[in-house]
Amino acid sequence: MSILDWFRKPTIKSKKPSFDFEDGIEDALWDIKEKYDLETEEVERTVFEKRHNLNYMNECVKNNPDHK
């Protein structure tokens, strides 16, 4: 698997990331939103994109036969 494989369009079905957990990054984003009065939609979009990207990377690693 080369680094360029990460930039190909995903061939797996796009799944919505679940919103049943939060991590430190997401907690920090919500704190920043409150402090700087950002729009909720911006933070929600960032959290969704973060989760989507992590799910995609996990699927790529799971589907890679060379991964050990």
> Residue 68: its pLDDT value, please?
56
**CA–CA distance, 40 with 46 (Å, rounded to integer):** 10
User: In terms of Cα–Cα distance, which of 13, 5, 17 is closest to 48?
Assistant: 17
pLDDT in tens, 23-59: 788 888 889 989 998 899 999 999 899 889 988 988 8
What is the reported pLDDT for 30?
86
Q: Where are the domains of the chain?
A: 39-68
- In this predicted structure, what is the pLDDT of residue 41? 92
Task: Give the separation between CA 48 and CA 62, rounded to whole angstroms.
Answer: 21
Say if residue 22's pLDDT is above 70: no
Give 43's contacts (C-beta < 8 A, 6+ positions apart). 29, 30, 32, 33
pLDDT of amino acid 16 = 53
